[in-house]
Amino acid sequence: MQYEFLKQFPKRMKNIGLYALLFGNSSQKTTWKQYGFDRMDEQLNVVFAVMLYLMEQSLKKENCLLDDIGAYLDTLNTSSFEKPMSYEDCRRLGDFIVNVVLSNDGRPMYFDGYDFEKREYLHLHISYISNEIVYLDTGVKRTSYRLTEDGYNLLLGTLEVENNMKLTIQEMIFKLHLEKQSYDKAVDAVKNIFQQLQIQLQKIQEAMGKVRRNALNYSVAEYQQILEENMDIVRETRKKFIEYREMVKARAAELEEKHINIQKLDEQEKENLNNLRVIEDYLTRAVDEHQKILNHHLDLKALYTKELEGLSQMSLIQRFSLRTELFDQVLEHPQALDRMELFFRPLFLQAPHKIYNLNKALEPQQTARKKTEADSREQIDVDEQAWLQEQERLRQEKLEKYRGCLGYLLGRLLTAEKFTLAQCRDDAQAQPQIRKKLIPNVEIFKEVMVELIRGGEFDIPALKKERRDFIQENAEGFQINEMLLQLLEEQESLPGAQGRQLCRLRVCRTPDGTAVAFDGVFSADGEEKTIRCSNVLFQAQYE
């Protein structure tokens, strides 16, 4: 499907149909006017009040008869609605709401929702209530009503889930799908989580706009509510999302390692791998969105405080008339012109005169030298510094091994525009120095091959443009794109490579599906192993 957001469209339209059919059944009836409910908003208030009563009776598993509904409406009318209705009128109104508005006179209700995958309309069945025959203690047979699943969904979508709980519920659903390895459903859940974060960020931005326009129009209750929602999101969400992302990365790495070896993935495993990559991408974006929410949360607090302080200072400004308070006073007392600067000084924003503060004079004084010596004391751990230097040296040695492995593969492309991993294996068996350069250890060789196969096709001009246009922090570990560009620039600067600039690099498995084995290679722990993986084809295209 071209537009992924239309994938669950029929399900969304089912939720829309719950409201649409209910409004249609209610607004087209003239029976309401017999009981004094002329406006549509009054009618809907009564309908939802009855549905809430049905929900309470259904949850308590108690009978809900028309007599009970009539008594309930009679109580509401006496205390709230105050319409000219008797008990019998309330009972007839309850019968009308249950059997006409909610049950459509016993006829089944359908709402058509378009399925963009099947390219056809689906008839979505909607039913708000159901009935059953019950026998009272006296043995009389009566009809009891209760809510259906659609009725629960309609009511629970109105209020029962608070805004600050929606993200928590979606996070619980996402966690359950991950535990059950239902990755297709987990994709929908993580998309809902990301949408909730985006909605919260937009709410903060809208609140900041209202505060900038007029802080008095933004109530303290609204400010408190959005701050509480932000803190609920900020408190634990980031840590959980990072943990989920690491879990998804680990599961995706297992499937990728299985895929790079000779064993092929079936269709279900391929779909799971694609879903895991989508989940990892959305979790990364969710962590970034979480950071934006935190930044905007702090900006909103600072902005609201500043605007309120500005409004409070305006109330302290004393206003006066220049005619009566200045000109007339000067005319009566001309000698005041000698000190006129005291009046005009605030208009020119001059700093006030400094006064001598006796409190500061009586404070115990400390010499600047002793204070400097006290502040300059610093504990220097020589062992920690040496450890950091050793860690940096080990990191550089590991990066050099990555450079050697990837540099050897790119070097072959200067002499042959196409070669396979099997040819590299043959050369490595004949020349030990090539083998040491290609496979410094098992872990590095596997990581380089996984990144190359995962990339598939590398557009060198596009990578250079991306590095040129975007400012990125230097990564501490192995980054395939960055190291690839560095090695190409070094090789293109060699005398024998003038005029040959790599434009595109393709890495894929060979069509014959053969395998390549490297015997007697060592891991990072010094353990001798055998690497067996699919044969890979390397192909270069030059400008």
| Residues 283 and 241 sit within 8 Å (Cβ to Cβ) | yes
For 193-214, write each residue's pLDDT tens digit: 887 788 788 888 888 888 888 8
149, 58 Cβ separation under 8 angstroms? no
Which residues are CB-contacts of 326 (< 8 A; sequence separation ≥ 6)? 320, 343
Residues 6+ apart with CB under 8 A from 74: 85, 87, 90, 91
Distance (Å, whole) CA 293 – CA 437: 47
Q: SS3 for 414?
A: helix
Any idea what the Cα angle at residue 312 is, between residues 306 and 314, rounded to 5°? 105
Residue 129 makes CB contacts below 8 A (sequence gap 6+) with 54, 98, 102, 103, 145, 146, 147, 148, 151
Mean pLDDT (the chain) is 80
State pLDDT tens for residues 150-190: 888 888 777 655 555 666 777 777 788 888 888 888 888 88
Q: Find which of 9-18, 248-257, 411-420 is predicted with most confidence, using mean pLDDT.
A: 9-18
Band the pLDDT of 95: cuts 50, 70, 90: very high
For 233, 297, 305, 359, the CA distances from 292, given in Å and listed in that order, are: 12, 8, 20, 45
Is the separation of the CB atoms in 448 and 543 below 8 Å?
no
For residue 218, what is the DSSP state? Answer: S
Q: Is pLDDT at 500 greater than 70 in this prediction?
A: no
Give span(s): CATH 1.20.58, the chain.
Answer: 162-311
Of 333, 332, 352, 331, residue with least CA distance to 341: 352
Q: Residue 259 — very low, low, confident or very high, per pLDDT cuts 50/70/90? A: low
Q: Answer yes or no: is pLDDT of 369 > 60.
A: no
Report whether 114 contacts 9 (CB < 8 A): yes
pTM equals 0.43
CA dist., res. 490 & res. 13, Å (int): 58
In tens, the pLDDT along 8-62 reads 788 889 889 989 999 988 887 888 988 889 888 999 999 999 999 998 888 788 8
Tokens, residue 243: 């943990």
pLDDT at 293: 83
* DSSP 3-state of 426: helix
Helix axes 183-213, 220-260, angle to 10 degrees: 150
Can you give the pLDDT at residue 316? 67
Range in 212-221, 389-398, 487-496 the model is least confident about: 487-496
Instruction: Provide the pLDDT for residue 264.
Output: 64
By CB atoms closer than 10 A (0-12, 13-18, 19+), residue 230 is buried
Which residues make Cβ contacts (< 8 Å) with residue 426, sequence separation at least 6?
none
Helix (H) or strand (E) holding 289, with range, is helix 267-315
Q: Over 70: is that where the pLDDT of 379 sits?
A: no
Q: How far apart are CA 180 and CA 536, in angstroms?
A: 34
Percent above pLDDT 90 for the chain: 11
Contact at 8 Å (CB) between 500 and 506?
A: no
Please, what is the end-to-end C-alpha distance for the chain in angstroms?
35
Lowest mean pLDDT across 312-316, 452-456, 517-521? 312-316
Which structure tokens are listed for 260? 């790079």
Out of 1.10.3470, 1.20.120, 1.25.40, 1.20.58, the CATH code matching 162-311 is 1.20.58
Q: How far apart are CA 192 and CA 173, in angstroms?
A: 10
Residue 505: pLDDT over 50: yes
Q: Please compute the mean of the pLDDT values over residues 94-101 and round it to a whole number.
A: 92
Q: What is the mean pLDDT of residues 319-343?
A: 82
Instruction: For residue 484, give the nearest of 470, 498, 504 by alpha carbon.
Output: 504
If one counts every other C-beta atom within 10 angstroms of the C-beta of residue 118, the result is 9
Q: Report the pLDDT value the prediction gives residue 380, as an integer from 0 to 100.
A: 44
- When pLDDT is averaged across residues 235-259 and rounded to a whole number, the result is 75
pLDDT at residue 519 greater than cutoff 50: yes
pLDDT at 317: 65
How many whole angstroms separate alpha carbon 187 and alpha carbon 283? 10
Residue 2: pLDDT band by 50, 70, 90 thresholds? low
Q: Which among 77, 88, 15, 24 has a CA at the least distance from the CA of 46? A: 77
- CA of residue 184 relative to chain centroid, distance: 18
Whether the predicted pLDDT of 492 surpasses 80 = no
Would you place residue 477 in the very low, low, confident or very high pLDDT band (cuts 50, 70, 90)? low
Is pLDDT of 262 > 50? no
* pLDDT computed for residue 159 by the predictor: 64
